[in-house]
Structure 1
Amino acid sequence: MRLERLIVGMLETNGYILYDENMLEALIIDPGDEAKTFVEYISRNRLKPIGIILTHYHYDHIGAVLDLRKKYSMPVYIHKKDEEGLKDPCINHSVSSFRKSISIIPDQTLKDGDTIKTSWVTLEIIHTPGHTPGGICIKVKNKNIIFTGDTIFNIDLGRTDLEGGDYHAMKNSIRNKVSKWSDDMMIYPGHGDLASMADVKKKNMEYLDIIKRR
């Protein structure tokens, strides 16, 4: 499995492309903007996109979805609790000054514990509400890789003061899910650089504040 990070849009969102070098099938995670950037990478590597997986519904993570789905005729996945936010252009922005009308009807909704399987990779869905009600992290089975969207970053956590945010839910997600990840697990967040959980447990003050207040 190969992994590519594409940084796109005004908010510098991390979009990810996972693909198999032999079959050239590809899965896209959080194509937040600049569909052309994704298309160029896909074309250059002769990939065959087979699905888009969204960690949550905020606009900076979904801006290129419609163009990519139209071009490649592939399904869009999102957690059931973020389905309405994805459909509603009035609420799927994450910053009030960054609004853009977009409405997407997902092809399939997800829940905690679901898997998305291909012949070359299995992705495990971890429901981590807090930033949004249906926020998810996506674990690559048998690898120390988790895509964390806007749940957790290398040095802080996703905001809970935006549409759909819930600080109590975020605390539970951190305590009951994220804190269980091993030190060698690598997080690939929705913004900023990747990090090991060992580094997160040393440097992420918002994470540590929640953990220490048990």
Structure 2
Amino acid sequence: MVIKRFVVGNVRTNSYIVYDENTLDAIIIDPGANPKMFIRYIDKNKLRLKEIILTHYHYDHIGAVEILKNMYNCSIAIHKKDVEGLKDPNTNLSRKVFRKPISITADKVLLEGDVITFGDIKLKVIHTPGHTEGSISLKVENENIIFTGDAIFCDCIGRWDLKGGSEEKTRNTIINIISKWEDEVKIYSGHGEIANMEYVRRENKEFLYILNN
């Protein structure tokens, strides 16, 4: 398995191409902007883009989706509870930020426990609501790797004050889901650096505050 991280857009969103180096089957997680960057990498490495997976609907995670879908005829997947927000430029904030509002219809609806397969790689969907109703994380089968979107970062947690966000659900996700992940688990988040949960437990003050209050 190969993971290639791209940092894109005005808020430096982490986008990831993940692929099986044997079959060259690939997915993209949260292509937030700069579609030409992804296209160059995909074409250079002769990848077969199967799917675009969105951890949630915010503008900075979806900006390159339509161009990539049209280029590679791949499907778009998002959690059921974020389907409508992906369509609504006011909810996904693209109307406020971009000249051209973004409205995207998902091809595939994801739910807790679903497994996404490409080549010999499998990603399990973990519903981690709070940042949005349908925020998800993606656990790589047989690897200590989880793509967390904006549920948690190495040094803070995702905000809950935007439409669809919830402090209560964020707290529940942190306490009952994320805090259960083992120290060895590496989080590949939507912003910031890659870190393991041992680092998060030691350095992430917002994470620690929720656990202790």
Normalised-by-shorter TM-score class: over 0.9
How many angstroms apart in 2 are the aligned matches of 1:30 and 1:209?
A: 28
1:67 corresponds to: 67
How many angstroms apart in 2 are the aligned matches of 1:99 and 1:113?
A: 37
Preserved contact between residue 56 and residue 136 of structure 2 (Cα < 8 Å): yes
Which runs of structure 2 are paired with 1:10-159 in the superposition (5 Å)?
Answer: 10-93=10-93, 96-97=96-97, 100-159=100-159
Which amino acid in structure 2 is aligned with residue 131 of structure 1? Answer: H
Deviation, structure 1 residue 45: 1.0
Preserved contact between residue 131 and residue 165 of structure 1 (Cα < 8 Å): yes
1:2 aligns with 2:2: yes
Deviation, structure 1 residue 163: 1.7
How many angstroms apart in 2 are the aligned matches of 1:201 and 1:94?
A: 34
Q: How many residue pairs are counted as aligned between the two chains?
A: 213
Over 3 Å counting, the alpha-carbon distance change for 1:94 and 1:144 in structure 2 is farther
Deviation, structure 1 residue 118: 2.7
Which amino acid in structure 1 is aligned with residue 125 of structure 2? Answer: I
2:209 corresponds to: 209
TM-score, normalised via structure 1 length: 0.96
Deviation, structure 1 residue 96: 4.8
Deviation, structure 1 residue 135: 0.3
How many angstroms apart in 2 are the aligned matches of 1:123 and 1:114?
A: 8
Deviation, structure 1 residue 25: 1.1
1:163 aligns with 2:173: no
How many angstroms apart in 2 are the aligned matches of 1:94 and 1:19?
A: 29
Cα RMSD over matched residues?
1.3
- Listed one character per residue, the Cα deviations across residues 86-106 of structure 1 (whole Å, up to 9, x for unaligned) are 011121117955675011000
Give 4+ residue runs of structure 1 displaced > 6 Å after superposition: none
Which amino acid in structure 2 is aligned with residue 29 of structure 1? Answer: I
Unmatched 5+ stretches in structure 2: none
Preserved contact between residue 154 and residue 200 of structure 1 (Cα < 8 Å): yes
How many angstroms apart in 2 are the aligned matches of 1:95 and 1:104?
A: 13
How many angstroms apart in 1 are the aligned matches of 2:137 and 2:2?
A: 19
**Between the two proteins, what is the percent identity of the paired residues?**
53
- Listed one character per residue, the Cα deviations across residues 147-179 of structure 1 (whole Å, up to 9, x for unaligned) are 000000000000111121101000000111100
Over 3 Å counting, the alpha-carbon distance change for 1:35 and 1:97 in structure 2 is closer
Which 10-residue stretch deviates more, 92-101 or 19-28?
92-101
